[in-house]
Amino acid sequence: MADKTIDKKIMSGMLRKMTLIRRFEQKVNELFLRGYIPGTIHLSLGQEAVPVGVTTALRDDDVILPTHRGHGHALAKGMPAASLFAELFARQDGCCKGKGGSLHIGDVTKGIMPANPVVGSSVPVAAGIAFAFKYRGQERIAACFFGDGAINTGPLHEGLNLAALWKLPVLYICENNQYAISTPIQSVTLVQPLAQRAAAYGLPVQTVDGNDAVAVYRAAFEAVGRVRAGEGPFFLECVTYRQGGHKRDDPGTYRPREEVEHWLSLDPLPRMRERVVEDGVLTEEQVLELERSVEEEIETAVQTALASSPPDPARALEDVYA
Amino acid sequence: MNEVDMRELTIIEAMREALTDEMHRNPDIFVMGEDSRIGGSFLLSLGLLDEFGPQRVLDTPISETGFIGLAIGAAMSGLRPVVDLQYGDFAFCAMEQLAHNACKLRYMSGGQVKVPAVLHFPTGASGRGGTHAQSMERYFSHFPGLKVGVPATPYDAKGLFKAAIRDDNFCIISSHKHLYGSRGRKFLVSEGVSLGVPEDDYVVPFGSAEVKRQGEDVTVVATLIMLHRALDVAQELEAEGISVEVVDPRSLVPLDRKTIMDSVIKTGRLVIVEEDTLTYGWGAEIAATAAQQALGYLDAPVLRVATPDVPMPAAPNLEKSLVPDTERIKAAIYEVLGR
């Protein structure tokens, strides 16, 4: 399906970010298995189109709130890969100086608010950030990511209601990968599509193919325009699929094989790659060059991060009080 | 302080004055809560709608997680929200927001963000039964990252509230329902306590305990309504030749251990009075500090007077039988004095 109405730079930029996230996550998986990363990790393999499509529609001075599965959100909004690797490696040059880890990443200089991985928790916080933008007459917006698992949490409902009530400039993005760990979404709510839950609070909603970066971008672009114009919050549901398990030790075998295979065939990265070539945005050669440059960026970032020291234990007592 | 500028105010009037002053000083401050536009449950924001308009005085739905979470986000973006809760107990509804976002986002982000918000709530027993009676300040004193102020006099209320609003950290201000002096509510205050509040701008810094009454024989540490009862007891025991020193921590976090321990070292005896249930309360923290820093000076075991470990009953006579009264405080003082 040819679509030449989107600027070529935007198309190639999205492909590059998606490739970067894919290679970053694959590298994280590899380095985790080799013992470089303490704790746990939640990979976003297969979900790259959502953060990339959404952040491409944002301005630099807009902010995002990532989830526990947030590496892709952060990279998409511009966090340097080295800074994120260093945080995962628990080094002092990590984005949170080693105090956050994979679950609590953030870089406010890039508009990436520190993540709270407790599902649903960031929904009212995003409303508050947007409240401040509106209070000061700034035309900035907050973009809040959460998964389908958040749909039954109290904070989500309280936050959506307040955001709608006070017409706050927030784009809520439900990254619906259809499972909360092993629990399929249809076994925890009778209401489908999930966007209906937000519609009940008076938010305009849209459900899109979350494995189609262009579709996500188009929907987000339109939604962002409405939110920025002062219409209040918007709820964008992106239906996608987690290619792996929930976290490091989860093979994800509770999902039917045919279902996994079906969604692997809808992998957002090859779809975007093909489209970029078919639409004549980049030649095959140029895509290969893009992939090589991503590979190089990842390798350099890993080396930079590994060169950073673990944080000084004396620093553990700092940053408790402002 | 200039005597001429002193007026007698209630705690809620003193807090309202602090809030009004600060809202005039800084346009980033706004207040919100359930029924804030008609003053809130204890009339903290009475009249502020007229003075500052609907942009800065917001009525919220009954939605503690929602509006406390919203306040946290607004504070992260540089505003200074003041959230007024109907009852402290309802803070439990928003516990995840408070326990994680309010007090840990700064730390977890490596110091990238600040959360300069104030949460004000009424605390303590007032004949309403178990879900409207808890001494909520205790729970929040256990989370590194929160500051907790417990003003028991109008002077301290104005000064601590101003300090909280100006602080770059998330602060909780908790006072007792029977101390506010809100219209139509029971008002208990010790005769020995001045209600004088200067019109001038001043702050009472967090972490500054105050000796509310000088004495030689025993130190009584108490907060909120228990402070008033302790002062009543001290006054009464003076006639019996017992000299009681009464210390008010004024903030539980940070805790001014030095002022408290200086008093304990001077008197050699320590009684701690809490309205809260006994086990794992802040009184245990002060007792442990005394064991560590003043053991050699103690002439008697440290005693704690507190509510027994049961939920608060509604019947006034049952509530009265549990919450420390002047008789129990007196008995503890006699005991540490060996009388």
Q: Is residue B173 part of a domain?
A: yes
Q: Is the pLDDT of residue A317 over 80?
A: yes
Number of domains within chain B: 2
Partners of residue A107 in chain B, C-beta under 8 Å: 112
> Tell me, what's the ipTM?
0.96
Q: Which domain holds residue A184?
A: 8-304
Partners of residue A318 in chain B, C-beta under 8 Å: 111
Statement to judge: residues B134 and B234 lie in one domain: no
Query: Helix H segments across B77-190?
Result: 95-96, 103-108, 137-140, 154-166
Low-confidence ranges of chain B (pLDDT < 50): 1
CA-closest candidate to residue B281, choices B308, B299, B257: B308
Which CATH number is B65's domain given? 3.40.50.970
Q: Is the pLDDT of residue A1 over 50?
A: no
Q: Over range A155-174, report the average pLDDT.
A: 98
- Domain edge (last residue) among B177, B198, B219: B198
Gap from B217 CA to chain A (nearest CA, Å)? 37
- Which tens digit of pLDDT belongs to each residue from A259-277? 999 999 999 999 999 999 9
Count how many pairs of residues, chain A against chain B, have C-beta atoms within 8 Å: 143
Q: Is residue B204 part of a domain?
A: no
- Which tens digit of pLDDT belongs to each residue from A60-96? 999 999 999 999 999 999 999 999 999 999 999 999 9
Which CATH number is A146's domain given? 3.40.50.970
Residue A316: pLDDT band (50, 70, 90) is very high
A contact test, residue of B30, B109, B143, B253 with most A CBs within 10 A? B109
Which CATH number is B247's domain given? 3.40.50.920
Distance CA B124, CA A108 (A): 39
Number of domains within chain A: 1
Write the single-letter amino acid at B204.
V
Q: Is residue B218 part of a domain?
A: yes
Query: Is the Cβ pair A121, B79 closer than 8 Å?
Result: no
Partners of residue B251 in chain A, C-beta under 8 Å: none
What pLDDT sits at residue B192? 79
Q: Is residue A320 part of a domain?
A: no
Residue A2: pLDDT band (50, 70, 90) is very low
Statement to judge: residues B186 and B215 lie in one domain: no
Whether residue A170 lies within 8 A of chain B, CB to CB, comes out as: no
The mean-pLDDT minimum among A133-147, A227-241, B49-63, B185-199 falls in: B185-199
Write the single-letter amino acid at B219.
T
Write the single-letter amino acid at A137.
G
Query: Is the Cβ pair B65, A158 closer than 8 Å?
Result: yes
- Which tens digit of pLDDT belongs to each residue from A183-200? 999 999 999 999 999 999
3-class secondary-structure state, position B244: strand
Distance CA A47, CA A241 (A): 6
Partners of residue B100 in chain A, C-beta under 8 Å: 116, 118, 121
Write the single-letter amino acid at B172.
I
Statement to judge: residues B324 and B217 lie in one domain: yes
What pLDDT sits at residue B182? 82
Partners of residue B167 in chain A, C-beta under 8 Å: 322
Nearest to A131 among B73, B111, B168 (CB): B73
Query: Is the Cβ pair B67, A124 closer than 8 Å?
Result: yes
Gap from B204 CA to chain A (nearest CA, Å)? 18
Tell me the two tokens of residue A156: 């989500």
For B62, nearest residue in chain A (alpha carbons)? A158
Nearest to A162 among B63, B100, B115 (CB): B63
CA B332, distance to chain mean position in Å, is 23
3-class secondary-structure state, position B300: coil
CA-closest candidate to residue B175, choices B93, B57, B88, B117: B88
Q: Is residue B325 part of a domain?
A: yes
For B168, nearest residue in chain A (alpha carbons)? A322
- Which tens digit of pLDDT belongs to each residue from A12-47? 999 999 999 999 999 999 999 999 999 999 999 999
Query: Is the Cβ pair A106, B112 closer than 8 Å?
Result: yes
What pLDDT sits at residue B5? 77
- Which tens digit of pLDDT belongs to each residue from B233-263? 999 999 999 999 999 999 999 999 999 999 9
Q: Which domain holds residue B15?
A: 7-198
